Structure 1
Amino acid sequence: MRTAGSYQFPPMDQVIYGRPAAEALGEEAERLNARRVFLIASRTLNTKTDEIERIRKALGERYAATFDGVPQHTTREAVVQIAGEAKQAGADLVVAVGGGSLVDAAKMVLMCMEHEIFDQGGLDGFETTPERRFGGFRNPKVRMIAIPSTLSGGEYNSGTLVTDTRRKLKQIFNHPMMMPRSIILDPAITKYTPEKLWLGSGTRAMDHGIEAVCSIRGNALVDSVCLAGLRYLHDGLLRTKENPNDERARNDCQLGSWLSAFGLQARVPMGASHAIGHVLGGTCDVPHYFCTAVMMPSVLRYNRPATESAQKAIAEALRSPDIDASEAFAAFIAKLGLPRKLSEIGVHEDRFSLIGNNAMLSIFTRSNPQPIREPSDVVEILKLAA
């Protein structure tokens, strides 16, 4: 148990869970007196299910428009295009319905609308760096609501990841008011999510919890809540792997994602798994939901000298108190049938140097519990995962 620290409450109204998304969003739009609700929706949900149409009907005259073309890894080109369309539609509330890329896009759209950035170069200078936590954004007049269909958990923090395709580099942008006003968790809307994405995004949510428990600046509340989240996710993911129609298990997974993100909510700094994962996505085009499955066992091994007590608690949360946390997580990934090595996702040693160099640009490299001082330290972790 940590004996000193602090906890920061996020600028967010509420999490609504276990209710139909359309019904809950209709009530939220009324509560917030929104008149022009702009939807950023999953194309699958919009074109192959009736979920988005239910939302449009629930909004009624408050509905403004829908965009359903957000690419994987959330590119600058996409967010400035969406911002232009949302501005033209007179949006006074933005709602993301789908996976992590859509949630990230919605956060960035708020700031592009506020600053009238409709060309990707206009985002230069706003990105987060090790020397600059916040990039000078104003408080946005328009806020957002998130209705996630995956488990990645990015909706629970005020940062967003956007890829600059010109440089093949995923960057962090941050402002407290990019945090959603509300998050709506409806297990029914997740049943359309492909299995690998569902399971992989669940491990991504676990990444938040594990790195918070191991963080150099965690606190007692975050530790307790994140460990509970890891238990929810461990058990719920295995149950949904066995039976995809188990809605109670899906609900538990959503609760686990929420609880595991408590460190992000409190701005507890993450570590090497986040830093490397962002580079694997932005530079190597690896789906974000595979990054934790491949990297976390090696990050835990690298960090063990500085986090031995925390890792014992993590192993217990993974229902394996008698083995190392890295082994427990690797065994869990095997049960889920997800990739376990970099070579399985097309990343080989000839790219390690580039990944190491780009990872050193991340704020999370600097906050890893076991010091990472130069690119060769990142390469050491990559070799463990090769």
Structure 2
Amino acid sequence: MTPAAGEFAVQAHERIVFGSPAGDAVLREAQRLGARRVFVVTNRSIAKLDQGPLQRLVDALGPLHAGTFAAMSAHSSSADVAGAALAARDAGADLLVALGGGSVIDGTKAAQLCLWQGLTTAEQVARLPEGAQDAVAPAPGAIRAIAVPTTFSGAEFTCTAAVNDEATRTKHVVSHRLLAPRSVVLDPAATLETPMGLLLATGLRAVDHAVESFCSPTAHAATEALSIQGLKLLARALPAIAKNPLDLAARHIGQMGVWQSVAPVAAGVGVGASHGIGYVLGGTYGVPHGETSCVLLPAVLRFNAPVNESRQRELAQAVGAPGDDLPGFIANLVTSLGLPGNLRAAGIARADLDDIAARALAYPAVLANPRAIRSAADVRRILEAAW
């Protein structure tokens, strides 16, 4: 039997740290890396907390703290990416720390690219070409980052960054191997101040990573176990967190599930229409990342069932889904967690569906869906099912 051809991209992380308070772990990592001017990127909601994760981190860094950019917006706007890069440059930063969810971490990764290339304006960021930036060789010792996630988005484990161009209301994704954080610090206590709805919704985003990577035509033996384990951990952790928000053990299990679920995507396995259409809902219509997965994933799975029903059944059996019904299991999980289960609940009007369907065709993940999507009418079928 001839083995199938494939590849497994290895990210440029140096270590994943867990089991320690985030401030202590970041300080140790900064010292290990020889950093002298550590610059933090976060968002306004985290910065406003009284003795929240930002204050604890700054206190731990002490004199190594060179400044903070606390204005990264949801969906990582090109203006905020440029602003973070300028602020870090003005502070003389030699190490970035991304403290927040997917938008903060993606924005920090993109800000690194700005610092490498000398980009200073939102227009320059918006003109970055889609896809790999590996032709850009950063200078030796170029600035890198540490990530401290406060949600379950999984952005800390990838070398890609989704940036929103506010002028066109579209997202584009840039990547470079060295955009992956040098270190990832997983501290469940860093998630305690995250609003419960946001935390659980990003957990569904992680479920989406696990499901779409397992069902992808590009999945292989080295990634399948990661997808399954990620889904099993998340299916265990999310209801436990909802039941007892102070359960740090459950939050730790959730972080492990996030790590496992996104690892196949970071390794190069493709995702499908749930992610791709979700980019439109997020970038154009402002729906939070996690909520896009809540409302789209069951509908996309049902659309794809004619071509990958057996793969869906494997995942359903792994989590004990009644009747081996994976879409039903996920839809019930969404409902049980109090998250929006359809496009109406996410604030999408029926009049928007044609625009969403047309825009979705511009995203590679839609075109890579396991069941071929050839037209806006195909996308509209999914949207109607999610309505």
Give the TM-score band, short-chain normalised: over 0.9
Provide Cα deviations, 1:240-290, integer angstroms capped at 9, x if missing partner: 111101110011111111110111220211111110111101111112221
Q: Using a 3 Å threshold, how does the CA distance of structure 1 residues 299 and 76 change in structure 2: closer, same or farther?
A: same
- Offset at 1:335? 1.0
Q: How does 1:32-51 map to 2 (within 5 A)?
A: 32-50=33-51, 51=53
Partner of 1:73: 75
1:385, distance to aligned residue in structure 2 (A): 0.4
Shift of 1:360: 1.2
Equivalent AA in structure 2 for residue 314 of structure 1: L
1:121 & 1:270 partners in 2: Cα distance?
29
CA distance, structure 2, for counterparts of residue 255 and residue 337 of structure 1: 23
2:109 pairs with 107, 110, 116, which one? 107
Equivalenced residues, count: 382
Question: Do residues 236 (structure 1) and 231 (structure 2) align?
Answer: no
Shift of 1:26: 0.6
Instruction: Tell me: CA distance 1:249–1:163, structure 2 relative to 1, closer, same or farther (3 Å).
Output: same
User: Counterparts of 2:74 and 2:44 in 1: how far apart (Å)?
Assistant: 12
- Of 238-247 and 58-67, the range deviating more from structure 2: 58-67
Q: Which secondary structure does the structure 2 equivalent of 1:344 belong to?
A: coil
> Displacement, 1:32?
0.9
Offset at 1:136? 4.8
Q: How is 1:278-289 mapped onto 2 (pairs within 5 angstroms)? A: 278-289=279-290
Aligned to 1:160: 161
Give the deviation of 1:67 after TM superposition. Answer: 1.2
Distance in structure 2 (CA, Å) of the matches to 1:12 and 1:137: 19
Distance 1:359 1:139, change over 3 A: farther
Q: Does 1:11 align with 2:3?
A: no
Aligned to 2:100: 98
Distance in 2 of aligned mates of 1:305 and 1:231: 24
How far the C-alpha of 1:124 sits from its partner, in A, is: 4.3
Q: Which one of 64, 68, 87 corresponds to residue 66 of structure 2?
A: 64
Please list, as runs of the form range in 1=range in 2, the aligned pairs for 1:56-205 lying within 5 A after superposition. 56-128=58-130, 133-134=132-133, 136-139=135-138, 141-205=142-206
Residue in structure 1 matched with residue 55 of structure 2 by the alignment? 53
CA–CA distance in structure 2, aligned partners of residues 317 and 347 of structure 1: 33
Deviation readout 1:203-250 (Å, 9 max, x if unpaired): 011111111101111111211011111111111100011110111001
Q: Map 1:220-299 to 2 at 5 A.
A: 220-299=221-300
- Identity over aligned residues, as a percent? 35
Letter in 2 for 1:358: R
CA distance in 2, matches of 1:306, 1:15: 36
1:379 alignment partner AA: R
Q: Quote how far apart the aligned CAs of 1:21 are.
A: 0.3
Give the Å deviation of 1:133: 4.5
Task: Give the superposition deviation at 1:3.
Answer: 5.9
Instruction: Please state how far the C-alpha of 1:161 moved relative to its aligned partner.
Output: 1.1
Residue identity in the other structure for 1:211: E
Cα distance in 1, alignment partners of residues 353 and 138 from structure 2: 39
| 1:21 corresponds to | 22
Q: Does 1:320 align with 2:321?
A: yes
- Residue 48 of structure 1 aligns to a residue whose secondary structure is coil
Inter-partner Cα distance in structure 2 for 1:306 and 1:176: 33
The aligned counterpart of 1:358 is: 359
Residues 9-65 of structure 1: per-residue CA shift (max 9 Å, x gap):
112111111210011101100111111111012433333232323322322332110
Return 5+ residue gaps in structure 2 as ranges: none
* Alpha-carbon distance between aligned partners in 1 of 2:113 and 2:132, rounded to the nearest angstrom: 16
Residues 173-206 of structure 1: per-residue CA shift (max 9 Å, x gap): 1111111111100011111111100110100111
Q: Is the 8 A contact 1:126 1:137 kept in 2?
A: no
Partner of 1:304: 305
1:213–1:310 CA contact under 8 A, matched in 2: yes
Amino acid at match of 1:225: L
CA distance in 1, matches of 2:273, 2:135: 26
TM-score by length of 1: 0.95
Deviating more after overlay: 350-359 vs 27-36: 350-359
Mapped partners of 2:16, 2:322: distance in 1: 32
In the TM superposition, residue 377 of structure 1 has moved relative to its aligned partner by 1.3
| Alpha-carbon offset, residue 323 of structure 1 | 3.0
Verify the 8 A CA contact 1:213 1:223 in the aligned structure 2: yes
Letter of the aligned partner of 2:382 in structure 1?
Answer: I
TM-score (norm 2): 0.95
Tell me the SS of whatever aligns to 2:171: strand
Does the CA-based 8 Å contact 2:78-2:126 persist in structure 1?
Answer: no
Cα-to-partner distance string for 1:319-367 (whole Å, 9 max, x where unaligned): 2152321111111111111111111112123212211222111121121
1:221 is aligned with what amino acid? A
Q: Deviations over 1:115-144 (max 9, x none)?
A: 11111111244232xxx5548543371111
* Cα deviation 1:143-179 (Å, max 9, x = unaligned): 1111000001111111111111111112211111111
List runs of 5+ in structure 1 lacking aligned partners: none
